[in-house]
Amino acid sequence: MEKVSVKIQMVDLKSQYEKIKKEVDVAIQNVIDNTAFINGPDVKAFKEELEQYLKVKNVIPCANGTDALQIAMMALDLKPGDEVITADFTYVATAEVIGLLGLKPVLVDVVPDTFDIDIAAIEKAITPKTKAIVPVHLFGRCANMEEILALAKKYNLYVIEDTAQALGADYVFSDGTTKKAGTIGTIGCTSFFPSKNLGCFGDGGAIFTNDDTLAAKIRMIANHGQSVQYVHDSIGVNSRLDTIQAAILRIKLRHLDEYAAARNKAAAYYDKAFANNPKIKTPKRVKFSNHVFHQYTVQLSDVDRTGLREFLAERSIPAMIYYPIPLHLQKAYIDPRYKKGDFPVTEQLCNSVISFPMHTELNEETLKYITGNILEYVNR
């Protein structure tokens, strides 16, 4: 196939920036001119604009998505030894903060078609020590929140949504009403890492909640446990969103839905190209959530995945494995409770998934080149 003129990347932040460069450059310069680097007016404005976009009462900006998860768990007064259930198939940060706080990560498997945390497995894992469930809205689509909320109610558990990969996605309840990902459980957490759907130019994160008392506590913990200046009521952390990042995020937030539409257009192209190919299982759509395609991740069968990656790399097409190793088999999380074979779906996914370039700037010519090369290898 004839090569394309653009450099193909998993995420093309440069071209995205070019389109909003003028506005962004002015906003950054404005922060510098005012030297309002910490807690400047853009932080408050962004917080309020995100609250309106998400229709949530409180957004608390912080330094990154991992901090958001940690602060959320600290605010819920979870005690060492309390059990927190999360998916085995996720980015490490979700389980990392559970362990870091001396809580006990309880891993459960996911379901094969959707990569969602397995509801039946959650219920089986609940013990009298279980305090919270952390569903991950993986790759840009909500987990089955209605069923998770029902379990949380039955067993009196908190729900912390890891929304790092799905900001802007809509959850659709069975009565037809919708809520934004991250605003459904007790607390929602997100990341503004540059490659995220709403990404800044460095690190950033935020916490969401409709509970005002909890929000006050979260604000305090994120600011050294400080209630009034130099009065510290609890041990907290120092976790702030820089003003420069907030100024950039304010601009990008206005484009978030348009970015999701561009990602969906690329996903539709991939879907069509791979339709009916027995070796490529495309991402499943579900009734209860739309998709904002943080990643376009397929499952391969009867394809040498390493060979495909090498073949694509030789043609300047990147592809990534999210994620190659299940949490329960990571050295840091080795635990006598778990062994190889315990989470067969996650283990199988780790061996079969592959993610192709997905971002807001993919055009048909590039997608044709990418899919053409993928199919050339797969159909050999």
Give all strands (DSSP E) within the chain, no chain letters: 58-62, 83-87, 104-108, 130-134, 158-162, 170-172, 178-180, 187-191, 205-209, 226-228, 231-232, 280-281, 296-300, 353-356
Phi, psi of 86 (to 5 degrees): -145, 175
Nearer to ligand PLP, 136 or 220 (CB): 136
> What does the H/E/C string look like for 112-141?
CCCCCECHHHHHHHCCCCEEEEECECHHHE
Residue 373 CB, shortest distance to ligand PLP, in Å, is 27
Give 95 or 220: the residue with its C-beta nearer to ligand PLP: 95
Residues 6+ apart with CB under 8 A from 310: none
Smallest distance from ligand PLP to CB 378, Å = 27
| Nearest distance, CB of residue 68 and ligand PLP, angstroms | 7
CB of 71 to ligand PLP, least distance (A): 12
- For ligand PLP, the binding residues (CB under 6 A) are 64-66, 90-91, 93-94, 136, 162, 164-165, 191, 193, 203, 205
Question: What CA–CA distance (Å, rounded) separates 315 from 306?
Answer: 14
- CB of 98 vs ligand PLP, minimal distance in Å: 12
SS3 call for 106: strand
Token duo for residue 320: 């990534």
The residue among 118 and 162 lying less far from ligand PLP, judged by its C-beta, is: 162
Kindly tell me which of 97 and 367 has the beta carbon lying closer to ligand PLP. 97
- Rounded to the nearest whole angstrom, what is the least distance from the CB of residue 191 to ligand PLP in the complex? 3
**Residue nearer to ligand PLP on the CB measure, 42 or 161:** 161
Whichever of 66 and 144 has its CB closer to ligand PLP, that residue is 66
Task: Look at the alpha carbons of 355, 356, 357, 362 in this order and tell me if their dihedral is positive or negative.
Answer: negative
Q: Which CB sits closer to ligand PLP, 40 or 135?
A: 135
Between CA 198 and CA 47 the distance in angstroms is: 14
Using Cβ positions, the residue closest to ligand PLP within the complex turns out to be 65
CA distance 206 to 200: 12
- What is the closest distance, in whole angstroms, from the C-beta atom of residue 322 to ligand PLP in the complex? 9
SS3 58: strand
